[in-house]
Amino acid sequence: MIEFRNVTKRFPDGTLAVNDFSLVLPSRKTTVFVGSSGCGKTTLLRMINRMVEPTSGDVEIDGESVLGGDPVKLRRSIGYVMQNSGLMPHFSVIDNVSTVLRLNGVGRTAAHARARELLDTVGLDRALADRYPSQLSGGQQQRVGVARGLAANPNILLMDEPFGAVDPIVRVDLQQETSRLQRELDKTVVFVTHDIDEAFLLGDQVVILDKGARIVQVGSPSEIIESPADDFVAAFIGADRGRRALSLKQTPRGLVVVDSEGRTQGAIVGSDAAAPASADGAAP
């Protein structure tokens, strides 16, 4: 469990990135911070592994303040995946994945063996092990980034817009993979994105943030779609348009769901097909 207690971060230039933020992130669940750029979501993430230190307040992992110990040791115990992969361009794929293990003093052979297993885990061909990151596609680089984050088998995985820079088709692929990995590996994942669809797809707990990391709404994707806290949330999740503004249409063969463009998205199935159902059940 990760807990933010009244955390405030003011940067030296005076920017108030995070203002009195408190939240509990449950263990073995995925919490997604979502908001537009500059809302402080990345700052929140980086306070968990002390890349950023709070001006006031505290961040605790399982009841222990992250500010107490050695930050380097802390970071080695937390997986971190960032946008543009953040891979070491001068390390081969296998060395990149082994990085944290090697830092923790694991021998080269053992670290490489473990790294090879991780390539399998994230769906990468072992033949890529000796390539340099620049010789991989954007999607492959992100997979290596995820493998590196998982290498030391951390309980917590921080993901900072990991799929922001890859093309949409690859992104969907990576999102599905992440969702699968989460089910298999059972980590506490903290995910930052500005993409609300990504947030709803991956998050058990979605936190919608406004400037200064003000919490606008916290809840499961269903809770947020069913009852947006205010107009800001409704507009942000696009409740009134596109794929999330669904309505029912009677056809000779039964009820179907259509979106705001009039495109049919699916059919209502089951015994209560005649009764108007809540719209979110058909949301992708």
Partner 1 sequence: MNWVVDNFGLILQLTVIHLQQSVIPIVLGFVLSLPLGWVAWRYRLVRGPVIVLTGLLYTIPSLALLILLPATLGYSAISAPNLIIALTIYAVAILVRAVADGLDSVDEDVRQAATATGFAPFRRFWAVEFPLAGPVILAGLRVTAVSTISLATVGILIGVTNLGYLFTNGLERRIIAEVFAGVIAVVIIALVFDLVLMLIGRALMPWTRANAAAAQGAAARVATTRAAA
Task: List residues binding partner 1 (CB under 8 A).
Answer: 49, 51, 72-73, 75-76, 80, 82-84, 86-91, 99-100, 103-104, 131-132, 134-135, 148, 167
Q: Which of residues 63 and 89 has its CB atom nearest to partner 1 in the complex?
A: 89
Q: Which of residues 18 and 82 has its CB atom nearest to partner 1 in the complex?
A: 82
Q: How far is 107 from 278, CA to CA, in rounded Å? A: 56
Taking the complex as a whole, the smallest distance from the CB of residue 169 to partner 1 amounts, in Å, to 12
Q: Which of residues 82 and 239 has its CB atom nearest to partner 1 in the complex?
A: 82
User: Where would I find the beta strands (DSSP E) of 70-174?
Assistant: 78-82, 156-160
The secondary structure of residue 247, as a DSSP letter, is E
Q: Phi and psi at residue 152, in whole multiples of 5°?
A: -85, 15
Chain centroid to Cα 4, Å, comes to 17
Taking the complex as a whole, the smallest distance from the CB of residue 80 to partner 1 amounts, in Å, to 4
Q: How far is 84 from 138, CA to CA, in rounded Å? A: 8
Task: Give the number of other CB atoms < 10 A from CB of residue 222.
Answer: 14
Residue whose token pair is 């072992």 = 126
Taking the complex as a whole, the smallest distance from the CB of residue 283 to partner 1 amounts, in Å, to 27
Taking the complex as a whole, the smallest distance from the CB of residue 20 to partner 1 amounts, in Å, to 26
Picking from 61, 60, 63, 17, the residue whose alpha carbon sits closest to that of residue 41 is 17
Q: Which of residues 108 and 211 has its CB atom nearest to partner 1 in the complex?
A: 108
Q: How far is 275 from 272, CA to CA, in rounded Å? A: 5
Q: Which of residues 189 and 216 has its CB atom nearest to partner 1 in the complex?
A: 189
Taking the complex as a whole, the smallest distance from the CB of residue 228 to partner 1 amounts, in Å, to 30
Taking the complex as a whole, the smallest distance from the CB of residue 135 to partner 1 amounts, in Å, to 5
Q: Which helix (H) or strand (E) holds 34?
A: strand 30-34
Q: Which of residues 158 and 268 has its CB atom nearest to partner 1 in the complex?
A: 158
Q: Which of residues 117 and 130 has its CB atom nearest to partner 1 in the complex?
A: 130
User: Where would I find the beta strands (DSSP E) of 130-204?
Assistant: 156-160, 188-193
Opening angle at CA 158, ends 157 and 159, nearest 5: 115
Residue 246 near residue 258 (C-beta atoms within 8 A): yes
Q: Which amino acid, one-letter code, is at 17?
A: A
Q: Which helix (H) or strand (E) holds 46?
A: helix 41-48
